[in-house]
Amino acid sequence: MAELHQTGKKGEKLALQHLRLEGYEILETNWHSNHREVDIIARLDELLVIVEVKTRTTTRFGEPESFVNKKKQKHLIRCANHYLLKHRLDLEVRFDIISVLIDKEDARLHHIPGAFSPGI
């Protein structure tokens, strides 16, 4: 289990580096709300960006982003609403996924802006 945790942390570190290079302001990492966690909360101009990072070492069971299911999406939407209320922010929200595939000596990062949106 420790190796899985380390892989996830490497993926989050790469995701943070990517976002900073793209001009995002990192507001929070591993932010908790009611026993739930958001990997990264960032800001890009007047946009609050909720980022779920999925890191894997193989695509044997699918691409990393395919593991952000409807239940996880609902959880992220609830967390975003809580964050907006707690910080009294009036910003548009976007939900991104950063998929990281790490093998022995290489890493592939795929940023999916607006990967899903809350249902109306």
Question: For residue range 61-99, what is the model confidence (pLDDT) as tens digits?
Answer: 888 888 899 999 999 999 999 999 999 999 999 999 999
| pLDDT (0 to 100) of residue 58 | 83
Query: What is the number of domains present in the chain?
Result: 1
What's the Rg (C-alpha) of the chain? 14
Rounded CA separation 38/96 (Å): 11
Is this model's pTM higher than 0.75 or not? Answer: yes
| pLDDT (0 to 100) of residue 64 | 83
Domain that holds residue 7: 2-116
Question: Which CATH number covers residue 80?
Answer: 3.40.1350.10
